[in-house]
Chains A and B, each alone.
Chain A
Amino acid sequence: MNCKQVFSIIAVLAVSLPVTVFAVRASEIAPAVVYSTGGKFDGSFNQSAFEGADRFKQETGIDYREFELRNDTQSEQAIRNFAREGRDPIIVIGFQQATSLAKVAPEFPDTRFAIVDMVVDQPNVQSVVFREHEGTYLVGMLAAMASDTGTIGVVGGMDIPLIRRMTCGYALGALQAVSGIKVLENMTGTTGAAWNDPARGAELATTQIGLGADVVLQLAGGTGIGVLQAAADAGKLGIGSDANQNGLHPGSVLTSMVKHVDVAVFDAFEAARNGGWKPGIRSLGLAEGGIDWAFDDFNRDLITPAMKDAADAARNDIIDGRITVHDYMQDGTCPR
C-alpha cells in the first residue's frame, strides 16, 4: 500500500465519518403520529398536528409515520403497532385516545408517548393540554363587540367537558366585553359522529341565527365547516377554531381561535431529538403561545382598532394573571 492509497482511504473516511455520525443521529428517533377521527385534512385540529409534524420533517429531514383513525376502536391497535415497530416518540392526537394510550404505554416502558388534549398519568407519557378557555375568552370578547343584535352563538361538537370549558370561556369573555349579551349554546351530539356532521352544524347555526345571533363560533371540527358555511350564507359572521380558518369565507369569518397543536407536535418531536423530552403535563395557553386569536389580511376589515386593543389588553391581563378565566373542568360549572 503506497502513500497515495493511504491518503485516499483517510480522505474517504474523513468525508464519510461525519455523514455516518449524522445518519446515526438522524435515525435516533423514528417518530409517529396517530390522528384522531376526522382525518388529517379536517382543516382544523388534526390538520394542525399534521402541519407540525410536516414542519419537523422539513426542518430536520427526519421522516415520520402516521395513522388516521376511521373509528375510535382502532386507536389501541394503531398505537401498539407503532410501538412494536420501534417507533419513538409516538404522538396521539385527541382525548378519545386516552384510554387506549393508558393501556398501551405501560407495555412499552422505553417508548416515549405524547398525547394532545388529555392527561394520561404514566411515567413515559407527556400530556399536552391547552388552556383553550383563555382563547375562547378573547374571541368571545371580539364576538360581543362585533355583534349588532346583542346575541351571539356557539356550536360545540361532542358534548364533553373540554368543549364545555371552551363555551364557558366564550360566554365569560362576551359578558366581560358587553354586559348582558345573550349567548346561545348548542352541542352537535354525544358521540364521535358529532365531529363530522356539517349538515347538522349548518342547521344549528341557522337556528341560532334565526334566534338573533349574528356571530357564531364553531368548536366542532368537521361539523364546524357547516357552521361557518351557514353563517356566510346568511350574511353573518362565523368564528373558526383550532386552525386559522379566516380564509375559508373571506369577509365572513370574524377571527379564529387558534390552537397550536402544530407547536405541541413539533416541540415533542424536537425535544425527543435533542434529549430534552420530559414526561408529565405540559399546559399551553396564551402565555406559552399555544393559544391565540388570528388576525390577518382576511379579517383586517372586520376587526376595528378598538376591538383589537381590547382583546390585546385582555390577553396581557391573562398572561400577567390579572384575569383568571374560569376553568369549567375544575368544578363542572360556569358562573355567569
Chain B
Amino acid sequence: MDNFELVILLLDATLRTSTPLILAALAGMFSERSGTINLALEGMMLGGAFSAAAVAYYVGNPWIGLLAAIGTTICLSLLHGFACITHKGNQVVSGMAINILMSGLTALVGIALFAQGGKTPSLDHGSRFQPITLPGADAVADVPVLGSIYSELLSGHNILVYVAFLAVPAAWWVMYRTRFGLRLRAVGENPGAVDTAGIGVVAMRYRAVMCSGVLVGMSGAYLSTAQGASFLQDMTAGKGYIALAAMVFGKWRPFPALFACLLFGFLDAAATRMQGVILPGIGEVPVQLVQALPYVLTVVLLAGFIGRATPPKSLGRPYVKER
C-alpha cells in the first residue's frame, strides 16, 4: 500500500471521528453565543445516543431514533434553560448536574428496558444509518488521485457525516446573515440593549438552547446508530468536553470551530495509526505519548498560536431585568 492510500485512509478516519465533535461544538456555540454556558453537552450526547439506540431498536428505523434523540436533547436543554435562564441558577452547576444525571439515568433506563447492564441490544442493518455511495463513485474509483479522493474519502459515509459538514455553513448563515442570528449574538453580548429594543431576552435564550439541543441530539444519534450499533454506558468518553474545547479553540465561531474539530479528529485518527510505528532515531513510539499528543498540542496551540479567545461578553451571567 502506498503512502497516498494511507493519507486517504487517515483523512477518511478524520471525517468519521470529527463528525460528533462538529455537531456538538456547533450546539455549544448556539447556546454560548446567547449567553448560556453549556457544559451539559456530554450528558445531552449520552441522552441522545441512548434514545436513538433504544427507539431505533424498537421501531427498526434510524430516522425515528434520530427524532427521539433530538426530542430527548431538546427536553434536556429546556431543563438546563429552566434552571439557568428562568431561575438564574449557576450555569456550570446545572450543566454538570445534567452530565451526572444522564450518565446514571441512561444506564438505569437501559437496565430496566433491556436487562443488559445498561447496554442496548445491537441494531441490525435496517435500524442504522448506512453508508451512502455518492453518484458515480464506483465509476471514477480507478482514476488516479482525484478518483480515489472522491470514491474513498468523500463517498461512503453515512448521512449524518454530510449533515454535520453542511451544518457548519448553515450555522454560519443563521448566525451572521439572519435577524435571528443577530439577535442571538446581541443577547449574548449585551442583553440589556436587546431588551431595550423590545426583544425578549428570555425567549431568545430559550430558542438558542433549543437549537443547541437539536444539534447535540444528532451527534448523540451518530454515536449509537451510525458509527456504532448500540448504546453503551458512558460511550461518549469525553467527546462533549472535547467539543467544548474545540468551540473555545474556534473562538465561538462556526468555521474556526470546524477546523478545531477536524484537528482534534485528525490527531485522534493519527494517534491510532502512530502506535507501534518505529521512528528513525527514537525507536518505537510509546502508546502513552501518542495518546497524550492531542492534548499536548492543544495546550501548545492555545498558548502560542491561536491568540486570545474572547467569549461573549455576558456569557454565564443570567439576565436580570432592571426594575
A107-115, A190-198, A265-273: which lies at the interface: A190-198
* Contact partner, B117, options A42, A193, A198, Cβ 8 Å: A42
Interface string of A298-314 (1 = CB under 8 A from B): 00000000000000000
B1: chain A residues at CB < 8 Å are 211-212
B291 at the interface (CB under 8 A from A): yes
Minimum CB–CB distance from A28 to chain B (whole Å) comes to 30
Minimum CB–CB distance from B180 to chain A (whole Å) comes to 33
Nearest residue (CB) in A for B123 is A229
How extensive is the interface on chain B, given as a class? Answer: 20 to 34
Nearest residue (CB) in B for A249 is B122
A49 at the interface (CB under 8 A from B): no
B178 at the interface (CB under 8 A from A): no
B275: chain A residues at CB < 8 Å are 185-187
B133 at the interface (CB under 8 A from A): no
Contact A207 B273 (CB under 8 A): yes
Contact A190 B235 (CB under 8 A): no
Most A-side CB within 10 Å, residue of B230, B235, B272, B291: B272
Interface string of B253-275 (1 = CB under 8 A from A): 00000000000000011001101
Q: Which of B265-287 contact A (CB under 8 A)?
A: 268-269, 272-273, 275-276, 287
A290 at the interface (CB under 8 A from B): no
A190: chain B residues at CB < 8 Å are 287-288, 291
**Given contacts A193-B237, A203-B269, A204-B272, is CB(A229)–CB(B122) below 8 Å?**
yes
Contact A229 B287 (CB under 8 A): no
**Given contacts A206-B13, A212-B1, A229-B122, is CB(A198)–CB(B272) below 8 Å?**
no
Q: Which of A218-236 contact B (CB under 8 A)?
A: 222, 225-226, 229
Per the bound structure, the CA–CA distance linking A248 and B119 in Å amounts to 14
B233: chain A residues at CB < 8 Å are 39, 196
Per the bound structure, the CA–CA distance linking A204 and B13 in Å amounts to 10
Contact A198 B116 (CB under 8 A): no
Contact A196 B232 (CB under 8 A): yes
* Contact partner, B276, options A39, A185, A249, Cβ 8 Å: A185
B185 at the interface (CB under 8 A from A): no
| SS class, residues of chain B in contact with chain A | loop
Q: Which of A69-92 contact B (CB under 8 A)?
A: none
Nearest residue (CB) in B for A186 is B275
A173 at the interface (CB under 8 A from B): no
Contact A43 B119 (CB under 8 A): yes
B65 at the interface (CB under 8 A from A): no
A41: chain B residues at CB < 8 Å are 115-119
* Contact partner, B17, options A43, A203, A212, Cβ 8 Å: A203
Minimum CB–CB distance from B234 to chain A (whole Å) comes to 6
A40 at the interface (CB under 8 A from B): yes
Per the bound structure, the CA–CA distance linking A74 and B223 in Å amounts to 28
A98 at the interface (CB under 8 A from B): no
Per the bound structure, the CA–CA distance linking A189 and B233 in Å amounts to 18
B40 at the interface (CB under 8 A from A): no
Contact B272 A225 (CB under 8 A): no
Contact A207 B232 (CB under 8 A): no
A319 at the interface (CB under 8 A from B): no
A202 at the interface (CB under 8 A from B): yes
Minimum CB–CB distance from B241 to chain A (whole Å) comes to 13
Per the bound structure, the CA–CA distance linking A229 and B12 in Å amounts to 18
Interface string of B233-254 (1 = CB under 8 A from A): 1110110000000000000000
Per the bound structure, the CA–CA distance linking A68 and B107 in Å amounts to 13
Interface string of B116-152 (1 = CB under 8 A from A): 1111001000000000000000000000000000000
A54 at the interface (CB under 8 A from B): no
Per the bound structure, the CA–CA distance linking A226 and B226 in Å amounts to 12
Contact A199 B223 (CB under 8 A): yes
* Contact partner, B291, options A185, A189, A196, A226, Cβ 8 Å: A189
Minimum CB–CB distance from A170 to chain B (whole Å) comes to 14
Q: Which of B3-59 contact A (CB under 8 A)?
A: 9, 12-13, 16-17
Contact A226 B9 (CB under 8 A): no
A248: chain B residues at CB < 8 Å are 122
Contact A226 B287 (CB under 8 A): no
Per the bound structure, the CA–CA distance linking A241 and B20 in Å amounts to 29
Per the bound structure, the CA–CA distance linking A199 and B17 in Å amounts to 9
B118: chain A residues at CB < 8 Å are 39, 41
Contact B287 A198 (CB under 8 A): no
Interface string of B198-239 (1 = CB under 8 A from A): 000000000000000000000000010001111011110110
Per the bound structure, the CA–CA distance linking A202 and B229 in Å amounts to 10
Nearest residue (CB) in A for B227 is A199
B122: chain A residues at CB < 8 Å are 225, 229, 248-249
7 closest A-B pairs by beta carbon, nearest first, are A41-B117, A39-B117, A210-B9, A41-B116, A159-B287, A197-B237, A229-B229
Q: Offer 14 A-B interface pairs, CB within 8 angstroms, sorted by A.
A: A39-B233, A68-B117, A186-B276, A189-B287, A190-B287, A193-B238, A196-B237, A199-B223, A199-B235, A202-B227, A206-B13, A207-B13, A210-B12, A212-B1
Given contacts A200-B237, A207-B272, 19 further A-B contacts (CB under 8 A): A39-B117, A39-B233, A41-B118, A42-B117, A186-B275, A186-B276, A187-B287, A190-B288, A196-B232, A196-B235, A198-B232, A198-B235, A202-B228, A203-B17, A206-B16, A207-B13, A210-B9, A211-B9, A225-B232
